[in-house]
Amino acid sequence: MSSPISFTFKGDHSKTKKWLDRLKHKQFMKHIEKYGEWGVQALAEATPKRTGKTAASWSYIIERASNTVTIAWTNSNRNKGENIALLIQMGHGTSRGAYIQGRDYINPALQPIFEQIADAAWKEVTEDE
């Protein structure tokens, strides 16, 4: 038979409570639009350009929920219902039976933006008022 697990502690949680109260009043990512715009610019620059239409078709959507903020980058350039940006990224078959290998250009373009967002979020939660 095993013995029960118990915990004891001394002191209070006043420092933790104070820190959490400060976090509650901060406006996380109040400048999120700039990251959306920077992402559009990075994607436009990184997109392979035959005609430039796909590169010029990037945009972003910001969705805010009670506890989250999401940026979704979208590309409106389509051909026969297919998203050209994703065909370039993932690869695709042609009408003549050939296969065009994908080129990973989206992830490297957005990685610096993700790092800037993470850095800004960390700074927001760790800096004193």
Q: What is the structure's pLDDT at 35? A: 94
Better-scored residue on pLDDT, 71 or 6: 71
Instruction: Let me know: does 35 contact 117? Beta carbons within 8 Å.
Output: yes
Residue 1 lies in a domain: no
Reply yes or no on whether the pLDDT at 129 is more than 90.
no
Residue 123 lies in a domain: no
Strand partners, 94: none
Reply yes or no on whether the pLDDT at 56 is more than 90.
yes
Range of the domain at 87: 31-115
Residue 49 lies in a domain: yes
Percent of the chain with pLDDT over 70: 86
How many Cα atoms within 13 Å fall on the side-chain side of residue 67? 0
Strand partners, 91: 101
Percent of the chain with pLDDT over 90: 57
- Kindly provide the residue ranges of all beta strands, DSSP E only, lying in the chain, ordered along the sequence: 58-64, 69-75, 78-79, 82-83, 91-93, 99-101
Domain count, the chain: 1
Residue 35 lies in a domain: yes
Residue 129 lies in a domain: no
Residue 7 lies in a domain: no
Strand partners, 93: 99
**What phi, psi does 112 have (nearest 5°)?**
-65, -30
Residue 13 lies in a domain: no
Give the global pTM.
0.74
Residue 125 lies in a domain: no
